[in-house]
Structures are given as structure tokens and as C-alpha cells.
Amino acid sequence: MSQPLWHPETRYVSVIKGTWWTGAGPKFDPENTVPVLAGGFAVHPPKEFHCDGAKDGEVIVQISDIGPSGTIPVNPDGLDKK
């Protein structure tokens, strides 16, 4: 799973296979994520702190956005948003 991060643009995640786990907030807490099953999708609004990824098996996802694109890691203190 990714450490908390944010993007300047909206990100759209379509789950093709497996289970994708996603959570919001500046702290890394894989136990506080929700599953997105195959056939489902998730939306990460711009500048929203989040973490996501696979944690219990193979996952295939399609992630799309309209750029310019970027990925900004969140400082552990959670104070560097935007």
C-alpha cells in the first residue's frame, strides 16, 4: 500500500481484478481502509490525503485523470497539504 499522498487533480480508480483498499487522511493506517471490489471504482478528489493499494492478493486497477498530474507525498506530521 502507498504511504499517504495527494494529487493536484481528481483521480479515478477502476478495479479490474481483486480488492483495492483505500483510506483517507494524513496518517498511514492500513487497518482503517475500505475495500473496493472488482467492478467497483473509487474517486480521489484533488488535494485529498489518501493511501491505497493491495493488501491481500493480486489486484489490477486502471487509474486515470486529466493532467497536469502529480503525486505529492504527505509529510509524517500531515502539515504539508496544498
Domains of the chain, with CATH numbers? Answer: 5-66 (2.60.120.10)
- Give strand pairing partners of 60: 17
User: Structure pTM?
Assistant: 0.85
pLDDT along the chain (82 residues), means of 10: 93 97 92 96 94 94 93 74 51
Quote the CA–CA distance of 32 and 39 in Å, as a whole number.
22
Quote the CA–CA distance of 69 and 11 in Å, as a whole number.
9
Torsion of CA 7, 35, 61, 3, to 10 degrees: 40
Quote the CA–CA distance of 62 and 45 in Å, as a whole number.
16
* pLDDT given at position 33: 95
Residue 56: partners with Cβ closer than 8 Å, 6 or more residues away:
19
